[in-house]
Amino acid sequence: MDKIRIRGGKPLNGQIAISGAKNAALPLMAACLLTDETLTLTNAPRLVDIATMGNLLAQHGAEVRREDPPEGGAVRGGELHLTARTITSTTAPYDLVRKMRASVLVLGPLLAREGKARVSLPGGCAIGTRPVDLHINGLTQMGAKIDLVGGYIEAEAPGGLHGASIVFPMVSVGATENLLMAAALAKGDSELINAAREPEVSDLAHCLVAMGAEIEGIGSDRLRVRGRDRLSGTRHAIVSDRIEAGTYAMAAAITGGKLELLHTRLDLIQAVTKVLERAGVEFSETADGVMVSRANGELLGVDVMTEPFPGFPTDLQAQMMALMCTARGAAMITETIFENRFMHVPELARMGANITVHQSSALVRGVEKLTGAPVMATDLRASVSLVLAGLVAGGDTELNRVYHLDRGYDRLEAKLAACGAEIERLRDGD
């Protein structure tokens, strides 16, 4: 298995192009199942999860074609051309779903278009149990008959789905997306109350509107959808990845450097900039992005709690913790979204961090310096937090299980190396 080796201590300076968001791309790809015309997605990041979703869609009968700009030029995403002229299978098998939980996003579209779907239950994962009850309950309210049989969600709506007023008892990004897609092709009006407001949900909603759906309240926690008989194809640019932008903002901050993050916007990463500014990091808008620096001054410990958008994202909690490891003073980091998302703590501790976990909070006491070590992590964001720690640590850090990073960060080593990081990938067998 590949490894990444980092020699820490170099401040990062330069520009990093932010890719299209993985967590927007995955539901957008699933939306191709709602129409027999071609859905073209531009600004598509090069990620293993995107390929996995492509394989799943192909398995349902969609034609999946990807075009990438030539390597070496400005780092821009590719184009995905997705055409589900006919659905040849309504089963999402265990082997694909277990690789990526977001596979469950085909449930709503398949059920709405074909009146049936059989989707493997995703099961738990490294960060928590992550049930899909909200997806199932919502679709049931829209007229689906759903049974759980042999590890599969077996759903049927022979007469089609009908509109419903659905109140989510808690905010769920995936359930909002699944039901939004289902409602777009259901009979009658639907209302999604206490819906997730993440920019990736809004990106999906805008794309659905371009496909002919009628949706009001985009960006709010109350989405009103008027169902359509059919939707058409469109061309849509995937929104920029705010988690990737936040991660590189923290890379600039942890190394005391200055980075221009291209193709992103301050309003997308506001929850992060507010917290980082308190920690002594500066942000300003540029013509095509955001400048972030910690040129002068030290990093200060600040408390942070993860929350649904517009709060501080759980997907940046591990990176924030790495940042706080060398800050002056202490930082209390509280995770409210997932019950087991502190897997990076013992690995950061192996690099010299001083962190005490009590239930859903971690108290990070800043230390003078971190030292490089062989480390590994069990999920994407935990892995990248170790990369951040490695960038500032003395000596070499060797990160194992790099496949987690490849699921969600488009050409991470190349982007960091271009800004002065000493980072290289050791291919299996090197």
Counting Cα atoms < 13 Å in the Cβ hemisphere of 179 gives: 38
* Least distance between ligand EPZ and beta carbon 370 (Å): 23
Residue nearest to ligand EPZ (CB): 174
From candidates 28, 337, 377, 384, binder to ligand EPZ by CB under 6 A: 337
Q: Report the nearest approach of ligand EPZ to the CB of residue 286 (Å).
A: 26
What CA–CA distance (Å, rounded) separates 149 from 364? Answer: 44
- Residue 125 is among the residues annotated as catalytic for this protein: yes
Q: Which pairs count as long-range contacts for 386-389, CB under 8 Å and 24+ apart, including other chains?
A: 386/322, 386/344, 386/347, 386/348, 386/351, 387/4, 387/6, 387/412, 387/416, 387/423, 388/247, 388/250, 388/251, 388/254, 388/319, 388/322, 388/323, 389/254, 389/322, 389/325, 389/348, 389/351, 389/353
CB of 127 to ligand EPZ, least distance (A): 6
SS3 7: strand
CA–CA separation, 104 and 196 (whole Å) = 17
Based on CB atoms, which residue is closest to ligand EPZ, 136 or 157?
A: 136
Judged by CB under 6 A, the residue of 132, 392, 393, 416 near ligand EPZ is 132
| Residues 383, 406: Cα–Cα separation, whole Å | 10
- State the amino acid at position 352 in one-letter form: G
User: Which C-beta is closer to ligand EPZ: that of 133 or that of 277?
Assistant: 133
119: contact with ligand EPZ by CB under 6 A: no
| Active-site pick, 125, 207, 325, 419 | 125
Does the protein bind ligand EPZ through residue 31 (CB under 6 A)? no
> Is position 26 an interface residue for ligand EPZ (rule: CB under 6 A)?
yes
Q: Token pair for residue 239?
A: 């929104």
When binding is defined by CB under 6 A, the residue of 87, 175, 355, 392 that contacts ligand EPZ is: 175
Residue 170 binds ligand EPZ (CB under 6 A): yes
The upper half-sphere exposure of residue 321, i.e. CA atoms within 13 Å in the direction of its Cβ, equals 36
Q: Which C-beta is closer to ligand EPZ: that of 196 or that of 373?
A: 196
Give the residue numbers marked as catalytic. Answer: 125
Interaction site with ligand EPZ (CB under 6 A) = 23, 26, 101-102, 128, 130-135, 170, 172-175, 200, 314-315, 337-338, 380-381, 408
